[in-house]
A = this chain, B = another copy of it.
């Protein structure tokens, strides 16, 4: 499959490289050529006229629970811990693998409408999410979700080996567990040992709420970051989801261990969890990425909302309108997200990289006039501006149509049926 995208503005997201006009040539899922002086005379399977619109790397949703689509707008307006224990866990207990397959497909559709080309997905029964991702052609990195209520370290090791075996696969896997407050010490030590064996980072929900931090201090005398670090979990780095409530010693550990933090600002607002110190992390040089969190808490899977919040909230909290400029936000959403997921060839648009890219519709009133496209995207962009989403060289979404070969109605009907069965 050879594809050419021409007549484009291109933002490669390489450090220091401005937007230029040019074209991309793609073969078998990878970018063969990107620049202003294309090789001509080739035969193309597909030629796409970008019409002057912007091509840039797709967004990476660096923290989500895709199959939770069935809980969207079901149990809103509750505190996180009650919400989790009284509503979410009992409903989730009724999910079958087949349910997860359909609900993950629904989430993937929404990712595509938001220009998201890869998701870092933490959920149970991964074989079924895997099938949903493979059938739709979507890139998914699984995050281990071990906790006291399910899973074993042996299973995690098998998944780790299985999903990371084929570097050409759309799927990959990172060691992880749910959270300090749902996982006993012995299990965390076993996870640390597994991470040590593969010299791998450990990914985990961390310091999302004040209560979580306070209860950990009561139990262990330490913050979640310090406690988990004391168990050796971050010897080879890690990824913290949320990271809202941190003290000075936490920042030191995160910096020293090379840990990345994924912020989920909409979910943190909606559950009244707090506002993560994004500017502080960035000032310290800590790699930052952005996630939507699951659709039960957010309730949508919209990278544009998250991007505006990632900067807007910092401006008001830090009383500094210059806090977290637009390019930093785009880098978090498109580049560092890939790093947090271990996707080394999905970062920027360069020859040899994966063709995971999006076309931003500049022929919309919210993108006009064009003073600064990057700022327009972060401060004015919306899902309506996603004209095309391509994963691994295949166009999965274009001009509002889903092109992965299954009708949206089938997916909607299955999601409604599952929600009805479980929630009544």
Contacts and interface: CB of A to CB of B under 8 A. Distances in A.
A382 B321 contact: no
Interface string A373-393: 001100111111000000000
Contact of A326 (B76, B272, B316): B76
Contact of A369 (B83, B274, B312, B419): B419
Interface in A317-361: 318-323, 325-326
Contacts of A420: 369
A117 interface: no
B110 A415 contact: no
B365 A408 contact: yes
Contacts of A298: 379-380
A78 interface: yes
Contacts of A299: 375-376, 379-380
Interface stretch (A23-31, A65-73, A119-127, A221-229): A65-73
A371 B419 contact: yes
Contacts of A107: 365
A313 interface: yes
Q: State how many copies of this chain the complex holds.
A: 2
Contact of A304 (B74, B273, B312, B382): B382
A301 B380 CA distance: 8
B308 A272 contact: no
A203 interface: no
A242 interface: no
A211 to B, nearest CB: 11
A321 B380 contact: no
A275 B313 CA distance: 10
Contacts of A109: 365
A61 interface: no
Interface stretch (A12-20, A168-176, A181-189, A263-271): A263-271
A5 B272 CA distance: 40
A139 to B, nearest CB: 17
Contacts of A152: none
A77 B363 CA distance: 25
A77 B365 contact: no
Interface in A271-310: 271-275, 295, 298-302, 304-305, 308
Contacts of A48: none
A370 B416 contact: yes
A301 B371 contact: no
Q: Which 8 A-B pairs have the closest CB atoms?
A: A269-B312, A300-B380, A73-B375, A109-B365, A110-B365, A369-B419, A383-B384, A299-B379
